[in-house]
A and B are shown apart, each in its own frame.
Chain A
Amino acid sequence: MYIIIVGGGRLGYYLARTLLDEQHEVLIIEKDASTVQSIVNEMGSVCIKGDGCETAVLAEAGTNRADIFISVTGDDEDNLVACQVAKYKFNVPRTIARVRNPKHEMLFKKLGIDVTVSSTSIILEHIKHEVPTNPLMHLLSIKEKGLEIVEIKIQPDAKTVGKAIKDLTLPPESILALIIHRDTNPTAPSPATVLQAEDQIIAITRPDNEALLRSALTGN
């Protein structure tokens, strides 16, 4: 596949290396001349200097034959415009934008960007997981279906320890997919499965029902 990356910063650099390892054809578009030089010195001619929002630069990069267009600069407005130009001027089938401000994710979707990745949300989620007071962590969101895959950890003092799953009131459209016990192998839960302290539960739910699911499983 031919993949164009706008932004040769740390993210663009490692992304390009990963994609090159997977045998894809990759081109980075970067504004800063010295960054371009250091990428070219290391990886060969996979980087051109230019503004990834400019039609002329994108034409030179052969954007009309790109399969995927990824914009990972540090500015949301630049990522939005680069992806829109790629999509609406060059008909790239798949555009992916990095979003710094999580509030912009909805907007980007609405404006036609196929995939948005909010680096801030991802880092936040990982840090939150390490704070022991928050038992629920988002693992993956299936945006097209409006579903979330989440992990809930049962604290030793949770009111639900020792209760069977059939005795819990789970919110609608929520499914418990997997229980990972502290000492034994992961199991697919049945209605008779009894919750134990330190259990990690992988569940599928809708974002609106998240709080209900958490309180159903932790008793708080």
Chain B
Amino acid sequence: MKIIIMGCGRVGAQLAILLDKENHEVITLDLNVDSFRRLPPEFKGNALLGNGLDEDILIKAGIEKADAFIAVTQGDNRNIMAAQIAKHIFCVPKVICRIYDPLRRDLYSMLGLEALSPTTIFAQMLKEKLES
């Protein structure tokens, strides 16, 4: 699969490494060149410097032929907007985004976006740990 990951922070880079090991074609996007230091030398995918909200950059990243688009930047709104561009403009078959704010996540899930809230997930996990 060809997978574009927007945001090469800890989660983005970790995901890129996992997918790369499984021989997927991975393209990571980030605004800051320093973020790409998280990718190890053996990483076979591409790292592209640029704004994932810019359609020209997305086309450069090959979004027109991408099978999946993942938005994991630090900004909820950036992720929401990028995911909507990928889904509604470029019709990427699988689009997932991270939304920290649980209320915003609920709203966008209702609007058809596949969105995960680490806040809710992690709180739930902690609670289960406590109870186990």
Contacts and interface: CB of A to CB of B under 8 A. Distances in A.
Contacts of B56: 103
Q: Helix, strand, loop or mixed for chain B's interface?
A: helix
A53 B84 contact: no
A107 B84 contact: yes
Contacts of A75: 77
Interface in B88-103: 88-89, 101, 103
Nearest to A106: B89
Interface stretch (A78-86, A118-126, A174-182, A192-200): A78-86
Contact of A55 (B77, B78, B89, B107): B107
Interface string B55-81: 110000000000000000001111011
A80 B77 contact: yes
A110 interface: yes
B103 A56 contact: yes
Q: How large is the interface on B (under 10, 10 to 19, 20 to 34, 35 or more residues)?
A: 20 to 34
B25 to A, nearest CB: 26
B83 to A, nearest CB: 11
B107 A103 contact: no
Q: Helix, strand, loop or mixed for chain A's interface?
A: helix
A114 interface: no
Given A55-B107, A88-B111, A89-B107, A80 B81 contact: yes
Contacts of A101: 53-54
A172 to B, nearest CB: 30
A110 B89 contact: yes
B19 interface: no
A23 to B, nearest CB: 33
Nearest to B110: A88
B88 A107 contact: yes
7 contacts: A54-B103, A77-B78, A78-B77, A80-B81, A88-B107, A101-B53, A107-B88
Closest 5 CB pairs of A and B: A77-B77, A77-B81, A81-B77, A55-B103, A77-B78
